[in-house]
Chain A
Amino acid sequence: MSERTTALYEAHAALGAHFTDFGGWQMPLRYGSELAEHTAVRTAAGLFDLSHMGEVWVQGPDAAAALSHALVGVFEPLAVGRAKYSLIVAQDGGILDDLIVYRITPERFLVVPNAGNAELVFTELTTRAAGFTATVTDASAHTALIALQGPRAAEILTGLLPEAEHETLAALRYYAAHEFSIDDQPVLVARTGYTGEDGFELFIPDTAAPGLWDTLLAAGLTRGLIPCGLAARDSLRLEAGMPLYGNELTSALTPFDAGFDRVVNLDEGHDFVGRAALEAAHATGVRRVLVGLRGEGRRAARAGYPILVDGEAVGTVTSGQPSPTLGFPIAFAYIDPAYATPGTPVQADLRGKPEAFTVTATPFYRRTR
């Protein structure tokens, strides 16, 4: 059993959470039914504790340049108050993590890596920023992160803000962040998420987390808001076609393997760690591509199951489960490019029994706006 718990552990326990080990943390897997939690996010709202995720600050006159050197994207053009999805790769081009970078002020950036990679990302950023006038600080241990996700998220959050700020929140765009005050506590509110719904991610000091959690739950009580665990988070992100580090993204894969060509900036003059390897990988092309699969039966393909065409293995499932929203099994798989065209029939080897699946475009689910 892992030792690390978030500032909200007691709150989760009081809500009857089932815990699971994730990235070295004891996190809520579900409180009651994970299907009910999934549905709440699709139809009303859900509240998630994401405090296990990392928060690394990169600050200084060269902060943008340091990030452009450390990651596969370019950060000088990123506007203050906006966020950018990026990847950090090793010298050999393998993906070390996927992360979101927020530009808080011209010289202050917040980097949010995955829980299991937070220490590695902090170490790598520190090393890679060494030649720049920038400092790298790991704030993960005392920063909490709460996600409020779902079609009613904006309504719930608006109710907690002074009227003067209602318009500011309404105008907050996807992948943008702004500091608000809730119960006299400064809260960095980002319009980001991992569910495929509208929603927010709220960064606050650890000490303020239990208070904000309770405030949000109370505000959402009459609007269908319920606490949600990592089981629902995983099924929501899969439906939304979002990759999970450790499943779709690993250090054995390059960003091109994962289909993230647009995240990698290979423009002349963008000198970053791993560039040479990624240039070579880009020129070579990929042996496997990441595709979506839809099951024709009721049984789900799970991570690690082989994908077959005419009895021959042509790929491997990385994530899969029955889609609660769509009612049929969905999966991500790495597959031979020859079979990657949407509509291609394949089979998944479900513990020795082949089952029909069809290659399909992702996301599997797209919300109506």
Chain B
Amino acid sequence: MSTVAPNLKYSAEHEWLAAGDPATVGITAVAAEALGDIVYVSLPEVGSTVTAGETCGEVESTKSVSDLYAPVTGEVVSINQTVLDDPALVNGDPYGAGWLFTVRVTEEGPLLSPEEYAAANGVTAP
């Protein structure tokens, strides 16, 4: 697993966004690694509107809890029920099976390229 995946956009708060309609949102391997073993995830409700840069859930590990920030503004289309039941998926496959929710984007927040995100976090670019 590379620490930063190509073909994704990134927020400074460690969310990734896979473009599409709807777009998919998750947290990065950098964040998952820093949090440690994730034991609880709360996600926005389907149909609710999330706002770029604002909190829309939380990710809790054995050692800490951190807010989940929406990287974009838009309506939540679906959430990953499997991750709610098995939060360890976020550690195991943050860019795949550990995705968090999909959203119909009306506006993007400030987002970084894989290279910019990697540089900001002192890790190797994909």
Decide whether A and B are members of one complex.
yes
Residues in A whose Cβ lies below 8 Å from that of B60: 299-300, 322
- Complex Cα distance, B40 from A302, in Å, reads 14
5 more contacts with CB within 8 A, not counting A302-B64, A321-B63, are: A34-B62, A231-B62, A231-B63, A299-B40, A321-B62
In the complex, chain B residues 65-88 whose Cβ is within 8 Å of any chain A Cβ: 65
**Do A33 and B37 have beta carbons less than 8 Å apart?**
yes
Binary flags per residue of A21-49, CB closer than 8 Å to B gives 1, else 0: 00000000110011100100000000000
Residues in A whose Cβ lies below 8 Å from that of B36: 29-30, 33-34, 231
Residues in A whose Cβ lies below 8 Å from that of B58: 351
Residues in B whose Cβ lies below 8 Å from that of A34: 36-37, 62-63
Question: In this assembly, does A235 line the interface, its C-beta being within 8 Å of a C-beta of chain B?
Answer: yes
Residues in B whose Cβ lies below 8 Å from that of A298: 39-40
Question: In this assembly, does A116 line the interface, its C-beta being within 8 Å of a C-beta of chain B?
Answer: no
**Do A324 and B40 have beta carbons less than 8 Å apart?**
no
- Complex Cα distance, B37 from A208, in Å, reads 33
Residues in B whose Cβ lies below 8 Å from that of A33: 36-37, 91
Q: How large is the interface on A (under 10, 10 to 19, 20 to 34, 35 or more residues)?
A: 10 to 19
**Do B65 and A322 have beta carbons less than 8 Å apart?**
no
**Do B40 and A235 have beta carbons less than 8 Å apart?**
no
- Complex Cα distance, B62 from A248, in Å, reads 19
A135 to chain B, nearest CB (A): 41
Interchain residue pairs A-B with the least CB separation, the first 4 = A35-B37, A322-B39, A298-B40, A33-B37
Can you list 5 contacts pairing A with B, beta carbon distance less than 8 Å?
A: A30-B36, A35-B62, A231-B36, A299-B40, A299-B60
By CB atoms of chain A within 10 A, which of B40, B62, B65 has the most? B62
In the complex, chain B residues 1-59 whose Cβ is within 8 Å of any chain A Cβ: 36-37, 39-40, 42, 58
- Complex Cα distance, B36 from A235, in Å, reads 13
- Complex Cα distance, B36 from A322, in Å, reads 13
**Do B65 and A300 have beta carbons less than 8 Å apart?**
yes
B40 contacts which of A29, A231, A322, A351 (Cβ < 8 Å)? A322
B23 to chain A, nearest CB (A): 27
- Complex Cα distance, B63 from A185, in Å, reads 37
A57 to chain B, nearest CB (A): 35
B2 to chain A, nearest CB (A): 17
**Do B62 and A324 have beta carbons less than 8 Å apart?**
yes
Nearest CB in chain B to that of A324: its residue: B62
B69 to chain A, nearest CB (A): 14
- Complex Cα distance, B88 from A34, in Å, reads 12
- Complex Cα distance, B91 from A347, in Å, reads 30
Residues in B whose Cβ lies below 8 Å from that of A299: 40, 42, 60
**Do A302 and B37 have beta carbons less than 8 Å apart?**
no
- Complex Cα distance, B8 from A53, in Å, reads 45
Residues in B whose Cβ lies below 8 Å from that of A231: 36, 62-63
- Complex Cα distance, B61 from A30, in Å, reads 13
B102 to chain A, nearest CB (A): 23
B45 to chain A, nearest CB (A): 15
**Do A302 and B62 have beta carbons less than 8 Å apart?**
no
Binary flags per residue of A226-266, CB closer than 8 Å to B gives 1, else 0: 00000100110000000000000000000000000000000
Nearest CB in chain B to that of A37: its residue: B37
In the complex, chain A residues 295-330 whose Cβ is within 8 Å of any chain B Cβ: 298-300, 302, 321-322, 324
- Complex Cα distance, B58 from A29, in Å, reads 22
Residues in A whose Cβ lies below 8 Å from that of B40: 298-300, 322
Residues in B whose Cβ lies below 8 Å from that of A235: 62
Residues in A whose Cβ lies below 8 Å from that of B39: 298, 322
Nearest CB in chain B to that of A298: its residue: B40
- Complex Cα distance, B65 from A38, in Å, reads 19
